[in-house]
Structure 1
Amino acid sequence: MISIIMPAYNAEQYIRNAIESIISQTYQDWELLIIDDNSSDNTLKIIDSYASDSRIRIFENTSNLGPAKARNLGLENAKGEYIAFLDADDFLHREKFESQLKFMQDNRLEMSHGNYCFCDDSGKISKKVYVSEKIDYFTLLKGNQFKIMTPLIVRNKIMDLRFPEVRHEDYAFYLDCLKRIPYSLAQVERLDSFVRVGHASVSSNKIKSAIWTWDIYYKYEKLGLLKSLYYFICYAYNGFVKHKII
Structure 2
Amino acid sequence: MASVSFIVPVFNKSSYLKTVISSLKKQKGNFMREFIFINDGSTDNSLKILKKETLGLKNSKIINQKNKGSANATNIGINLARMDYLKFLDADDILLSDATQKLVQLLEENPKYILAYGLQRKVPNIDTVDLNEKIPQSSITFLDTPIKLAMRNSMFNPSQFLVRRKICQQTDGCDERVGFSQEYSLTLRLSLLGSFIRLNYPITILPFRAPGQISENKNKQIFRVSKALELFVKDNSNLPLKFKLFAQRRLTARSWRFARNSLNSNILSKWFIYYLIGLLRLPFNILNTCIAANKVYKTKLD
Q: TM-score range by the shorter chain?
A: 0.7 to 0.9
Is contact 1:83-1:153 (8 Å) kept? Answer: yes
* Counterpart-to-counterpart distance in 2, 1:169 and 1:139: 17
C-alpha displacement at 1:227, in angstroms?
Answer: 3.5
Residue correspondence of structure 1 range 35-50 to structure 2 within 5 A: 35-49=38-52, 50=54
Q: 1:216 to 1:40 in 2, by over 3 A?
A: closer
Q: Relative to structure 1, is the Cα distance of residues 107 and 6 closer, same or farther in structure 2, using a 3 angstrom cutoff? A: same
Q: 1:139 and 1:121 mapped to 2: Cα distance? A: 31
Say if 2:78 is the partner of 1:78: no
Q: Which residue of 1 aligns with 2:249?
A: 230
Q: Deviations over 1:48-70 (max 9, x none)?
A: 11232222211111x21111111
Match of 1:185 in 2: 197
Report the identity percentage: 21
Q: Which has the higher contact order (CA 8 A, sep 6+)?
A: 1
Q: What is the match of residue 295 of structure 2? A: none
Change (3 A) 1:229 1:207: farther
Q: What does residue 240 of structure 1 align with?
A: none
TM-aligned CA distance change 1:177 to 1:21, over 3 Å: same
- For 1:105, give the aligned amino acid: E
What CA distance in whole angstroms lies between the structure 1 residues aligned with 2:249 and 2:142? 21
Structure 1 residue 122, shift from structure 2 partner: 4.4
| Residue 173 of structure 1 pairs with residue 186 of structure 2 | yes
Tell me the distance in 1 between the aligned counterparts of 2:247 and 2:150. Answer: 13
User: 1:221 corresponds to which residue?
Assistant: 233
- Note if contact 1:2-1:29 (Cα within 8 Å) is conserved in structure 2: yes
Q: Structure 1 length as normaliser, TM-score?
A: 0.83
- The structure with the largest helix share of the pair is 2
Post-superposition offset of 1:208 = 2.6
Q: Is 1:218–1:225's contact at 8 Å kept on the other side of the alignment?
A: no
The reply on whether 1:153 has 2:163 as its aligned counterpart is yes
TM-score (norm 2): 0.68
* 1:163 is the counterpart of 2:174: yes
Counterpart mapping for 1:89-104 below 5 A: 89-104=92-107
Once residues 6 and 153 of structure 2 are traced to their aligned partners in structure 1, the CA distance between those partners, rounded to angstroms, is: 25
1:173 Cα shift? 0.8
1:125-136 superposed matches below 5 A: 133-135=141-143, 136=146
- Name which of 24, 27, 38 aligns with 1:25: 27
Q: RMSD of the alignment, in Å?
A: 2.8
Residue correspondence of structure 1 range 107-146 to structure 2 within 5 A = 107-108=110-111, 109-122=113-126, 133-135=141-143, 136-146=146-156
**3-state DSSP class of the match of 2:158?**
coil
Matched, 1:208 2:212: no
Q: Which runs of 5+ in 2 are unaligned?
A: 130-138, 258-302
Relative to structure 1, the CA distance from residue 57 to residue 220 in structure 2 (aligned partners, 3 Å threshold; closer, same or farther) is same
Deviations 1:22-81 (A, max 9, x none): 1001125211100111222221111111232222211111x2111111111111111100
